[in-house]
Amino acid sequence: MRMTRRDAVEGVVHQNVTRTAADLPRGSTAAPVYADGMTFDARAALLTKRAETTQRLKGLDESFADIVESVRDSNLDDEHDPEGSTVAVSRAQVASLAQEGREQLREIEAALRRLDDGAYGTCARCSGPIGDERLEARPTATLCIGCAQQENASPRR
């Protein structure tokens, strides 16, 4: 059994943990170290993801501005251009990607707040642990695997 982030905050000791929260300075955000040498630092993962997403958004915003600028003073009739996609399609694609990036940033910020509040790693539906492997794969996860599977299996209205 591995130590969850919640266990680390609460100082729970499991058999294969070589460093617990009690071994860390008060208020430390360091990750527990497991006997197998694995560590997962949720805060570092979230901050890295936030920096990457912010950089990607900056590039998308610049691309959008370039697209708008490129047609501002032109007499381009891209709606009838048989050679390729329209400027409107390009604008819509970039805008959609930027919207996805902004949503990712909101999820990252919410995860950082949960981390600060001590609720990180707890399923929003069943209040059980989310699981280290899921959090490592998806640091912004709010549901455990079981609840996520139930949500994906239920018909959408």
Residue 23 — pLDDT band, cuts 50, 70, 90? very low
Q: Please indicate, yes or no, whether the overall pTM of this predicted structure exceeds 0.75.
A: no
pLDDT tens sequence across 125-134: 999 999 889 9
In this prediction, residues 7-35 reach a mean pLDDT of 42
Q: What is the Cβ-side half-sphere exposure of residue 15, based on CA atoms within 13 angstroms?
A: 1
Q: Identify the helix (H) or strand (E) that includes residue 33.
A: strand 33-34
